[in-house]
Amino acid sequence: MTSPAVLLVDEPTSALDRVRSAEAVRLIAEQTHERGTATVMVTHDTAILDAADRVYEMVDGRLS
């Protein structure tokens, strides 16, 4: 499968330094927009939220 409709990404920056984290998020965002793919990213890294078109927060097991 080379062109998924949805890309699921779990903690893509957890083991990376700030420079590499920014690069990884930039590449994910770039490919998402170029390919028209929806990307669902799960993260605890609030520094990368600016790259998102939408942000949902999970609190006590519920999306808000």
CATH at residue 17: 3.40.50.300
1, part of any domain: no
pTM for the model: 0.80
User: Both tokens of residue 26?
Assistant: 């930039």
Closest alpha carbon to 39 in 64, 47, 48: 48
16 is a domain residue: yes
**pLDDT given at position 64:** 84
Is 48 inside a domain boundary? yes
Question: At residue 59, what is the residue type?
Answer: V
- Report yes or no on 33 lying in a domain: yes
Question: Structural domain of residue 23, as residue ranges?
Answer: 6-63
Question: How high is the pLDDT of residue 2?
Answer: 75
**Residue 55 within a domain:** yes
Number of domains in the chain: 1
- The percent of residues above 90 in pLDDT, for the chain, comes to 80
Q: Over the Cα atoms of the chain, what is R_g?
A: 12
